[in-house]
A = this chain, B = another copy of it.
Amino acid sequence: MSRERPYRTVSSRYLWRSAWYNLRQDQLEAANGSAAVYTVVEKPGGVWIVPVTAGGEIVLIEQYRYPVDDWCLEVPAGNIEPGIAPEVMAARELAEEIGGQARELIFVGRFYSLNGICDQVAHVYVALGVALDQPRHEATEHISLRLLPIAEALRMAAAGEINDGPSALALLLSERVLRARILEGGA
């Protein structure tokens, strides 16, 4: 979608910065000349990876998320570090979060995670032939793995039973690849 930007950024300043995200306040000028202010949550792009084992199971993570004070069902995910390509980051996150090594990483799509306030782009991959080893993060009781048959994980995502939105969408965006490569033969 290519059209002219309806706003021009006049100036920017940071209200807050951290290792995880920043708060940037911009002064804007609209096409009609009027002034406006927009405060953006600046966050690196992220990778969301749908891991499928050689045995045909999807590996989900169940973890406590402080902002929502709840346990969430998710796929492995993480921020993209500067200078690192998304697919390299995806392989790294897979190893760090679930100790997985993938035979093949397939890009399935990208989306804006919360475009009204945040600039983050989410990149989604399917990881096929994942062999599980020991995850590299510190073992805590806050994270556990859950292996599910592919069809069951897809059913849960479509039924609203995956409470982390980006993970649910990552699963559903992966459906075509999973059907083509695994559920309906092949790979």
Contact = CB atoms under 8 A, between A and B. Distances in A.
Q: Is the interface of A mostly helix, strand, loop or mixed?
A: mixed
Interface residues of A, number: 65
Interface in A99-151: 108-122, 124, 140-142
A1 B62 contact: yes
A116 B119 CA distance: 15
B160 A108 contact: yes
A158 B177 CA distance: 11
A177 to B, nearest CB: 11
A144 to B, nearest CB: 10
Interface stretch (A50-58, A85-93, A162-170): A162-170
A95 to B, nearest CB: 19
B176 A7 contact: no
A182 interface: no
Interface string A35-46: 000111101000
B142 A158 contact: no
Copies per complex?
2
Contact of A68 (B28, B72, B112, B124): B112
A87 B7 CA distance: 33
B43 A112 contact: no
Contact of A164 (B43, B69, B115): B115
A110 to B, nearest CB: 7
Given A15-B15, A31-B141, A68-B121, 13 more contacts: A1-B72, A6-B64, A15-B23, A20-B117, A41-B117, A67-B117, A68-B115, A108-B160, A113-B114, A113-B165, A114-B165, A158-B175, A160-B173
Interface of A: 1-3, 5-7, 15-16, 18, 20-21, 23, 26, 28, 31, 38-41, 43, 62, 64-73, 108-122, 124, 140-142, 157-160, 162-166, 168-169, 172-173, 175-176
